[in-house]
C-alpha cells in the first residue's frame, strides 16, 4: 500500500522498544509504525534561535523519524501555551486552569503552519497522512492551503469536551471549522464523539448523518470511534524478559508478603492523584487491621514542568504523600512509596505483575493505557484486580474492572478493600474478560481499523 505519514508533536520511537517508559501516544505509535512503510514527523523536542525548517532524519527501531526544531517562542506559545495551558485543561474539563491568551492562539496557528510547510515537500501523491492529537488540530487546513490533496486523518488521544465548556474558548468555531479539512476524525470513545456531534449540531447548525458523517461549514467529514490499545505481545515479552522478572523478584522481596497497590501516571492534574492519595488514606482510616499488610507504590514521572499548574500539583502531591506517610508509617512500614521517576517498559511490566491491585483513577482521560498494560501483565492463575475510574475512556471497554468515581474518597476506599479481599475465582473471571478486550483491541487493531477507514474515504 501507499506510505503512511504519521504526524505528532512528540516523536519518540525509542531505539530499544523495551526501554520506553510509561504508556501513551508515543509508545502506541512506535508499536503501530514498526510494521508500516512510512515516516513519523514532528517536533524534535529541541529549540533553535531562528526557525529554519531543517529536517533531522534517522532510523529508530525500524521507524523512519523526521523532526524539526522549534523557536523558543513557539515552545512557549504553542506547546506550553495553547496546547498545554489552553486545550489540555479545557479538554479535561478544567476551565478553572485554562488560559485564554491571544498570543498562545497565534503561536499555535504559526507553529502548525510551520509544520505544514516543512511536511508538504516530503509528500508523494498517494501517501496517506495521519495527524495526532490536540497540538495539531488545524494542520490539515494548512496543508490544504498548500495544495495537498492526500487523504488526511486525525486522531484525538484526549477526551473531546462538552459543548458548554468548549464555547468558553475564544475562536472555538474557527478551531472546529479547521477540522472539516480532514477526511476522517477518530475519537477514543463514543462519548467523546457524541460531544463533538452535539457541538456541530448546536453551534455550527450542522447535520449528523446516520453512519457518522457530519456536515457543517459547507464541508463534511466522517467520524469514527477507534479505541487505542497496547502492543500485547511486546508487553508480555517485556514482562517475561530477564529485567522484567528481576524487577518482579525485587518487589516481591521488598514487599515481604505485603500486598502492593500500584499507580503509574505522568504528574498531571487530570490523573486524579490527590484524590487517589486521599482515597487511600481513607482506606487506611477505615481498615486499621489491614494497615501494615499493604502499601501503595505510586510512580509519577515529572511532566510539563515549565507550566505553573504542573508545578503547583507537584508541590501539593509532595506535601500530601509526606503527610500521609508521616501520620501512618511505622518503624518497619511506610504506606506510600512515592517516586518521581520513569522506569523502562520491562521494569514496569514486572512492577504491574507484582501488584495485587492496579489503581487507575483519572478524573478525565482519553483512554489510559496503564489500565490495559496492568491487565496484560497479570499472572493468569493468580491475577490482580484493576480499579478503574469511570471517567477514563478505557471504562467504555473495561466494564469488568471495579469501576469507581474517583471524586469520592469513600468509594475509592471501598473499592480498594474489595479488590484486596476478592476471591481467586472472581479475580480470574474478571481478568479473563478484561484480557480478551485488551487482546481484541490491541494497537495493531487500532491502527488497521483507522487506516482502513481513512482509505475508504474519498
Active-site amino acid positions: 157, 365
- Which of 20, 24, 38, 153 touches ligand G6P by CB under 6 A? 24
CB 367 within 8 A of CB 397: no
Spell out, one character per residue from 268 to 307, where the chain touches ligand G6P: x when CB under 6 A holds, - when not: -----------------------------------xx---
Give the Cα separation of 303 and 135 in Å (integer): 16
| Position 389 contacts ligand G6P (CB under 6 A) | no
Minimum gap (Å) between residue 208 Cβ and ligand G6P? 25
Handedness of CA 185, 191, 195, 198 (dihedral sign): positive
| Piece of 22-30, 206-214, 272-280, 441-449 that binds ligand G6P (CB under 6 A) | 22-30
- Which of 3, 10, 110, 418 touches ligand G6P by CB under 6 A? 10
| Position 94 contacts ligand G6P (CB under 6 A) | no
Among 228, 170, 162, CA closest to 198: 162
Minimum gap (Å) between residue 429 Cβ and ligand G6P? 31
Edge to edge, what strands does the sheet with 213-216 contain? Answer: 56-60, 63-70, 38-47, 4-10, 128-132, 151-155, 184-187, 219-225, 213-216, 207-208
| Position 430 contacts ligand G6P (CB under 6 A) | no
Residues in 25-54 at the binding interface with ligand G6P, rule: CB under 6 A: 25-26
Nearer to ligand G6P among residue 304 and residue 390 (C-beta): 304
Tell me the Cα Rg of the chain: 22
Give the Cα separation of 391 and 88 in Å (integer): 16
Among 127, 182, 191, 205, CA closest to 158: 191
User: Cell numbers of 372, please?
Assistant: 490495559
The length of the chain is: 458
Nearer to ligand G6P among residue 10 and residue 110 (C-beta): 10
CB atoms within 10 A of CB 74: 22
Residues in 117-176 at the binding interface with ligand G6P, rule: CB under 6 A: 133, 157-158
- The footprint of ligand G6P on this chain (CB under 6 A) covers a number of residues equal to 9
Nearer to ligand G6P among residue 283 and residue 374 (C-beta): 374
Nearer to ligand G6P among residue 107 and residue 279 (C-beta): 107
Q: Which residues bind ligand G6P (CB under 6 A)?
A: 10, 24-26, 133, 157-158, 303-304
Amino acid at each position: 500500500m501507499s506510505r503512511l505519514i504519521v504526524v505528532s508533536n512528540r516523536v519518540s520511537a525509542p531505539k530499544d522498544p523495551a526501554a520506553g517508559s510509561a504508556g501513551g501516544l508515543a509508545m502506541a505509535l512506535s508499536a503501530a509504525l514498526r510494521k508500516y512503510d512510512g515516516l513519523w514527523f514532528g517536533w524534535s523536542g529541541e529549540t533553535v534561535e531562528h526557525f529554519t525548517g531543517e529536517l533531522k532524519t534517522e532510523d529508530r527501531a525500524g521507524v523512519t523519524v523526521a523532526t524539526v526544531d522549534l523557536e523558543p517562542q513557539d515552545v512557549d506559545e504553542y506547546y506550553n501555551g495553547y496546547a498545554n495551558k489552553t486545550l489540555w485543561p479545557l479538554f479535561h474539563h478544567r476551565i478553572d486552569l485554562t488560559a485564554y491568551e491571544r498570543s498562545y492562539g497565534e503561536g499555535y496557528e504559526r507553529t502548525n503552519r510551520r509544520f505544514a510547510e516543512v511536511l508538504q515537500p516530503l509528500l508523494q501523491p498517494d501517501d496517506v497522512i495521519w495527524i495526532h492529537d490536540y497540538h495539531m488540530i488545524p494542520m490539515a487546513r494548512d496543508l490544504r492551503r498548500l495544495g495537498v490533496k492526500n487523504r488526511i486523518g486525525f486522531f484525538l488521544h484526549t477526551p473531546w469536551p462538552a459543548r458548554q465548556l468548549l464555547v468558553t474558548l475564544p475562536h472555538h468555531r474557527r478551531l472546529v471549522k479547521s477540522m472539516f479539512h480532514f477526511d476522517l476524525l477518530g475519537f477514543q470513545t463514543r462519548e467523546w464523539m457524541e460531544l463533538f456531534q452535539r457541538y456541530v449540531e448546536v453551534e455550527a447548525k450542522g447535520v449528523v448523518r446516520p453512519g457518522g458523517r457530519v456536515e457543517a461549514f459547507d464541508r463534511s467529514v466522517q467520524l469514527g470511534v477507534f479505541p487505542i490499545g497496547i502492543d500485547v505481545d511486546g508487553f508480555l515479552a517485556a514482562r517475561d524478559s530477564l529485567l522484567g522478572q528481576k524487577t518482579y523478584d525485587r518487589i516481591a522481596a521488598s514487599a515481604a508478603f505485603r500486598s502492593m497497590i500500584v499507580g503509574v501516571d505522568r504528574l498531571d492534574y487530570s490523573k486524579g492523584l490527590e484524590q487517589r492519595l486521599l482515597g487511600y488514606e481513607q482506606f487506611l482510616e477505615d481498615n486499621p487491621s489491614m494497615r501494615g499488610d499493604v502499601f501503595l507504590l505510586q510512580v509519577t514521572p515529572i511532566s510539563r514542568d515549565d507550566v505553573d499548574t504542573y508545578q503547583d500539583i507537584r508541590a501539593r502531591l509532595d506535601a500530601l504523600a509526606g503527610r500521609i506517610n508521616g501520620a501512618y508509617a511505622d518503624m518497619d512500614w511506610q504506606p506510600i512509596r512515592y517516586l518521581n521517576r520513569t522506569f523502562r517498559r520491562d521494569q514496569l511490566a514486572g512492577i504491574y505483575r507484582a501488584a495485587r491491585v492496579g489503581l487507575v483513577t483519572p478524573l478525565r482521560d482519553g483512554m489510559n493505557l496503564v489500565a490495559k498494560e496492568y491487565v496484560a501483565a497479570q499472572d493468569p492463575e493468580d491475577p490482580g484486580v484493576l480499579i478503574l475510574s469511570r471517567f477514563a475512556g478505557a471504562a467504555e471497554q473495561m466494564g469488568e474492572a471495579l469501576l469507581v468515581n474517583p471524586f469520592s474518597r469513600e468509594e475509592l476506599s471501598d473499592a480498594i478493600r474489595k479488590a484486596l479481599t476478592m476471591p481467586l475465582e472472581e479475580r480470574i473471571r474478571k481478568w479473563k474478560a478484561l484480557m480478551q478486550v485488551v487482546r481484541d483491541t490491541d494497537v495493531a487493531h487500532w491502527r488497521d481499523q483507522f487506516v482502513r477507514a481513512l482509505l475508504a474515504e474519498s
